[in-house]
Structure 1
């Protein structure tokens, strides 16, 4: 893949771009096998390759420059004020719909008079533009602001934006008043009637609300859910817990295909649980329910354990408490989806009775050193 930003040294986010893709995959596979160690009986399937262009369904654009000439991209190292950004609105990683939308959104910054946030001076309003595209080509746009001051102007000019970009079905303002390197704040102001972006994955409609997490590589997310569904289906559990369930991806896939009879999804984000419940209700699935709460607390506070547990934690992993509970729980199988093989290896070491029997790397983040790895653990 060729990228003029990388070649010019303006952006090095794709740190491995100069390496042939087959070499990247082989390097990642060697790395994950080395991290997880020599487990007898662990069968590795070949890594799942990702598209190289147009795969990223979410753009997280830092806004710099001026009202008249905004820059959408990243901060230049050592800078941040007017002229301190690198414009990446033509980044080839983004889906075609996002690439089309970003120049229009840059024009909206000008027409609505949204002053880009000046990091060194600590003034200005618009910090980030967050744009997500669904597989159906619909868009969610979020304006991350320092304060509510520009909200009236955004509302005034929004009809013109929606006329020019009718694929925008969800728009919101996120307030992030603090001067620190945080992408978004806790307060969201919805600007459209639609609250969710419909993500159609493997024939299942998942719903994203503005602050919901979803994998940025839709093709790899779809393969991850298909693979998990197949592995769990071969085990044939009756009861399953989906811990860190997010908007319900694994849980809904398992129930809709009959891979499990009773599934409970647990997620700390109430917004994500609302999305999962919406998907469940629309699909008419009776075998799954969702609970808003801490995954570890739910497990430790339960009287009985399920046949199988799915865990899909953030990069920090599941930690010693949940690892210890799983080790002593009697759960027969664990499906562990990890975006950080180092914490996965740590968690596996804390669960010696649950040995990995299947593993597969999915290249969720091509041209970087990061990846997703799915492992099936079986009680020995």
Structure 2
């Protein structure tokens, strides 16, 4: 049967693809259905047709899924940040497990692959310790709004697949509830103060991002106002009003990003109130985190993740450990409590500075942090500078390891590699390379750090074949 764009047909949703779209099949042809959930029977129309698959959108739900759950968020239909919020949580876990298994079977080439362990999240709302919201003069106009409605100021999230339009957000149930109060106050205060939002098209305007960091276990709160240029005459009274309204705030910084790049990482930072860092506790360790440092965005589940890593490492106390992409040193410091010595490596200078300070705060001395571009660092600097590792931890960004690093990693000679990943697709890709160098994947755990989203954290244990 031939399918074409605009055609309507009935489909039964079998599961979720990685990324959150529903999967259906008809006549051996695959359909990816936006916002569909397993168990639904839906009437759809084809929005995009390709040779081997089609994309479709729901016109009508004919039979509702037993896994359907009323979404909590008022912005669910438009935001796209919590794409799975309309699926009951146990089924979310089941689908994530199935997705990871499918990815490793297809992309890593491991037949009959099974996930060994799934660690569920608790809590499943208000868990994020960092959120970023975008200022814009191009607000997304919702269906049903008057044609002449004002749309020249927004503070919220990008509309899916639109770089230039921002959905005004009143609340976000992924972060602590005080975050929503700050979000709304900042929006109103910015308007009253006549502070202009940045225009992504013309690159004119002052306010670019509002970034919030929460110490889930310390009750500290950092506000990062990202602007396109320095203007302390405008920001100082703004911040004074903000901290008067919210005495819970312990730090306010101003990152200045003069570049056109749509990122919240500034070229320089100005401290406007309180301390330049936020403190967070994970179990018995205390961490200092700066505005731009990487830190796991779910403190509650970070503790569970590190338990999985520690259990996988099975440290006896005489091991040398490398922690690659170490960020602010959280994994490194957990391991150093049970290892002989830990070396941490990361390219972000502020992260390494935080990591070194975290070691001092926690009185851990058997550790050494290094600024390193891991795409080429060991090829150029290894020699005899560091003792050979017994265990290597890698926790790369979503893009995975650079191929040069993946190829070089086996040359470090570690008996065990523990690969932590927020992207199972790139982890599966790197698994192929590691297995070609005689490292066998013996266990994979799924840790649900991000409920109601398509994202998941995985921990793979690789051991060198004898």
TM-score of the superposition, structure 2-length normalised?
0.74
- The CA deviation at 1:161 is 2.1
CA deviation vs aligned residue, 1:288-332 (integer Å, no higher than 9, x gap)? 111111234343332352101010001121232222222233210
Q: Are 1:331 and 2:411 matched, yes or no?
A: no
> Per-residue deviation at 1:262?
0.4
Q: Distance in 1 between matches of 2:310 and 2:396?
A: 18
Quote the offset at 1:121 in angstroms. Answer: 4.7
Equivalents in 2 of 1:328, 1:118: separation in Å? 48
Q: Which has the higher mean CA deviation after the structures are superposed, 22-31 or 153-162? A: 153-162
Residue 125 in structure 1 maps to residue 210 in structure 2: no
Which one of 64, 69, 73 corresponds to residue 156 of structure 2? Answer: 73
Q: Indicate the SS of the match to 1:160.
A: helix
In the alignment, what sits opposite 1:145?
227
Cα distance in 1, alignment partners of residues 128 and 234 from structure 2:
30
1:58 paired residue number:
130
Check 1:329–1:179 CA distance in 2 against 1; reply closer, same or farther (3 A cut): closer
The one of the two structures with greater contact order (alpha-carbon pairs below 8 A, sep at least 6) is: 1
Q: Deviations over 1:47-80 (max 9, x none)?
A: 4335321112222111235999953212457989
CA gap 1:339/1:41 in 2 versus in 1, 3 angstroms:
closer
Q: By how many angstroms is 1:117 displaced?
A: 1.9
2:80·2:160 contact (CA, 8 Å) conserved in 1?
no
Partner of 2:73: 3
Question: In the alignment, what sits opposite 2:269?
Answer: 188
Quote how far apart the aligned CAs of 1:361 are: 0.6
Cross-structure match for 1:105: 186
Residue 191 of structure 1 aligns to a residue in which SS? strand
1:274 paired with 2:353, answer yes
- Distance in 1, Cα, partners of 2:373 & 2:234: 39
For 2:332 and 2:356, the matched residues in 1 are separated by: 11
State whether residues 79 and 158 of structure 2, in contact with CA within 8 Å, keep that contact through their aligned partners in structure 1.
Answer: no
- Residue in structure 2 matched with residue 46 of structure 1 by the alignment: 118
Cα 1:350–1:124 change in 2 (3 A) is: same
Partner of 1:372: 457
In structure 2, relative to structure 1, the CA distance for the partners of 1:158 and 1:43 (3 Å cut) is closer
Structure 2 counterpart of 1:315 = 398
**Counterpart of 1:192 in 2: which secondary structure?**
strand
Counterparts of 1:1-380 in structure 2 under 5 Å?
Answer: 1-6=71-76, 9-37=77-105, 38=110, 44-64=116-136, 71-76=154-159, 85-135=166-216, 136-148=218-230, 150-234=231-315, 238-256=319-337, 258=338, 260-300=339-379, 301-303=381-383, 304-352=387-435, 353-380=438-465
**In structure 2, distance between residues paired with 1:80 and 1:32:** 29
Instruction: Determine if contact 1:39/1:356 at 8 Å carries over to the other structure.
Output: no
Question: Is the 1:365–1:371 Cα contact (8 Å) retained in structure 2?
Answer: yes
Gap regions ≥5 residues in structure 2 = 1-70, 140-149
Deviates most, 65-74 or 40-49 = 65-74
* Greater CA drift, 184-193 or 70-79: 70-79
Higher helix residue share = 1
Structure whose CA Rg is larger: 2
Tell me the CA shift for residue 236 of structure 1. 5.6
Deviation by residue 1:199-245 (Cα, 9 ceiling, x = unmatched): 11122111111111122222222211122122213576510010100
Return the offset for 1:123.
2.7
Tell me, what secondary structure is at the counterpart of 2:389? coil
Question: Residue 78 of structure 2: SS of its match in structure 1?
Answer: coil
The answer for unaligned runs of 5 or more in structure 1 is: none
